């Protein structure tokens, strides 16, 4: 049982047009995987299916051998591209909320990260900037000792100085039992921490390979490979 995530011939249509068609891949524990692709290639749809927010038309997803449901939600930590926290809450309220609902949430990690990023836990989310709110969400998500982290554009709205810290948190906070699936456009920023990449195009997987293989075979970085494949 080493694979944490398995997708088998997944397909999903939205009002006639295919958002995902016949997706197959397996992710092993202990890996950091970049989920790459241009806008509208199906990254968010895929993450929503893994998190049970969408039901696929055909095919199945298994997380640690289970279909998305209450048991998988206990072990999957999901960062959507949305601000999903109610803005009347204080930062400390959101920590209480996570502590209450997720058995694997470690409040100490969260407190440390808040201090490190100089975020005042007594502030209301309403009063924080968009970037700071994103940081709070990422802190909450990464403070869980989950088995699979699904991060949808985790660094998109965050300033470059904090990006390094966040990217660092991602690598230091997960253990070898867990896997991290990161969807992003900012490939160059996170290329160094990725073990594998999955590239999506028009709802299909066009490449799933280890980063080392790409570098030795193609002799180029993921960033330049991506720019070549999706050249306009």
Does 101 bind other proteins (CB under 8 A)? Our answer is: yes
φ, ψ of residue 206 to 5 degrees: the values are -100, -15
**Count of residues of this chain found to bind other proteins when the rule CB under 8 A is applied:** 25
- Contact with other proteins (CB under 8 A) among 46, 76, 197, 198: 76
- Contact with other proteins (CB under 8 A) among 24, 28, 66, 86: 86
Does 66 bind other proteins (CB under 8 A)? Our answer is: no
What torsion do the CA atoms of 180, 185, 186, 188 make, to the nearest 10 degrees? 90
Does 15 bind other proteins (CB under 8 A)? Our answer is: yes
Does 149 bind other proteins (CB under 8 A)? Our answer is: no
Does 84 bind other proteins (CB under 8 A)? Our answer is: yes
Does 80 bind other proteins (CB under 8 A)? Our answer is: yes
Segment interacting with other proteins, rule: CB under 8 A, options 34-42, 53-61, 180-188, 216-224: 53-61
Nearest Cα neighbor of 208 from 48, 64, 2, 28 is: 28
Nearest approach, Cβ of residue 43 and other proteins (Å) = 15
Say if residue 91 is exposed, middle or buried (CB neighbours under 10 Å; 0-12, 13-18, 19+): buried
- Residue 151 structure tokens: 């991060």
- Contact with other proteins (CB under 8 A) among 3, 30, 59, 74: 74
Does 216 bind other proteins (CB under 8 A)? Our answer is: no
Question: Strands, E, within the chain: which ranges?
Answer: 3-14, 17-28, 32-36, 58-63, 76-79, 148-152, 179-183, 196-201, 204-210
Residue 123's SS3 state is coil
- Contact with other proteins (CB under 8 A) among 38, 57, 64, 97: 97
Q: Cα(186)–Cα(164) distance, rounded to whole angstroms?
A: 13
Give the interface with other proteins as residue ranges (CB under 8 A): 14-15, 48, 51-55, 70-71, 73-74, 76, 78, 80, 82-86, 88, 97, 100-102
């Amino acid at each position: 049982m080493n694979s944490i995530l398995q997708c088998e011939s997944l397909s999903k249509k939205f009002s006639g047009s295919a958002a995902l068609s016949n997706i197959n891949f397996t992710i092993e524990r202990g890996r950091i995987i970049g989920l790459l692709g241009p806008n509208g290639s199906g990254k968010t749809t895929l993450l929503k299916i893994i998190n049970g927010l969408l039901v696929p038309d055909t095919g199945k997803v298994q997380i640690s051998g289970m279909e998305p449901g209450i048991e998988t939600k206990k072990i999957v930590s999901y960062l959507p591209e949305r601000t999903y926290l109610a803005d009347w809450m204080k930062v400390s309220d959101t920590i209480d909320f996570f502590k209450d609902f997720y058995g694997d949430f470690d409040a100490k990690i969260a407190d440390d990260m808040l201090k490190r990023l100089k975020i005042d836990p007594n502030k209301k989310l309403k009063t924080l900037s968009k970037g700071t709110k994103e940081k709070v969400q990422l802190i909450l998500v990464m403070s869980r000792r989950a088995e699979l982290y699904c991060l949808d554009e985790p660094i998109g709205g965050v300033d470059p100085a904090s990006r390094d810290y966040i990217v660092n948190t991602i690598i230091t906070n997960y253990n070898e039992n867990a896997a991290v699936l990161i969807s992003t456009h900012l490939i160059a920023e996170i290329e160094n921490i990725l073990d594998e990449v999955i590239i999506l195009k028009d709802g299909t997987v066009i490449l799933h390979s280890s980063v080392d293989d790409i570098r030795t075979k193609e002799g180029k970085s993921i960033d330049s490979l991506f720019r070549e494949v999706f050249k306009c």
